[in-house]
């Protein structure tokens, strides 16, 4: 479960993205501010629903969508450019795009990880394991923890470059 401090950090990290989504559907920045404030209050009350950091952005977009629709109903007498059905459709497409991107990223990471030796894979994943991670590897091996962290840094750069290259080539293969 995510605590209040982590929630605040995640909200601040994604606030601009949420504001830009809201701005696409609202008439001005004042309306965006109002909707973001209401959405953040709802998120704060429902923080117990979150299990991990990865869930935050999709979860917050759902709450934001409902707050946008609520704001539109409250201001129904003003002229809005987009109707509720179109907003829902666009938000659904955005969620699908996010899911496709996450899937593509996960696929690229898996593919690139497989190009590393088993020892390098183990080393790359060591900081994320709950069994002592890098320190446990240092104790059982002939390298210090510091040298292992430096090696992990170099391996992460190679992994990053591989993932970026794979995602770039995947974009070129997509039908237009």
**Residue-level pLDDT at 169:** 80
CA distance 47 to 20: 22
CA distance 25 to 27: 7
Residues 6 or more apart in contact with residue 67 via CB below 8 angstroms? 35, 38, 39, 42
- Tens digits of residue pLDDT in 101-124: 777 888 888 889 899 998 888 888
Q: Is the dihedral of CA 86, 25, 42, 92 positive or negative?
A: positive
**Residue-level pLDDT at 50:** 87
Once rounded to an integer, what is the mean pLDDT over residues 135-157?
82
Q: What is the pTM of this model?
A: 0.47
Instruction: Look at residue 176 and tell me whether its pLDDT is greater than 50.
Output: no
Instruction: Report domain extents, the chain.
Output: 1-81, 102-176
**Residue-level pLDDT at 175:** 44
CATH for 1-81 (3.90.320.10, 1.10.1740.10, 3.90.25.10, 3.20.20.70): 1.10.1740.10
């Amino acid at each position: 479960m995510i605590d209040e401090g982590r929630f605040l950090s995640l909200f601040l990290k994604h606030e601009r993205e949420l504001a830009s989504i809201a701005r696409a559907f609202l008439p001005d920045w004042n309306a965006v501010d109002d909707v973001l404030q209401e959405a953040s209050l709802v998120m704060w009350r429902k923080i117990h629903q979150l299990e991990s950091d990865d869930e935050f952005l999709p979860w917050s977009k759902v709450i934001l969508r409902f707050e946008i629709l609520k704001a539109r109903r409250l201001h129904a007498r003003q002229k809005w450019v987009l109707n509720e059905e179109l907003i829902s459709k666009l938000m659904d497409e955005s969620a699908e795009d996010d899911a496709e991107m996450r899937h593509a990223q996960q696929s690229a990471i898996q593919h690139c990880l497989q190009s590393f030796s088993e020892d390098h894979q183990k080393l790359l994943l060591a900081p994320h394991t709950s069994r002592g991670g890098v320190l446990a590897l240092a104790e059982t091996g002939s390298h210090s923890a510091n040298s292992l962290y430096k090696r992990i840094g170099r391996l992460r750069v190679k992994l990053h470059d591989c993932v970026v290259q794979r995602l770039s080539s995947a974009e070129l293969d997509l039908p237009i």
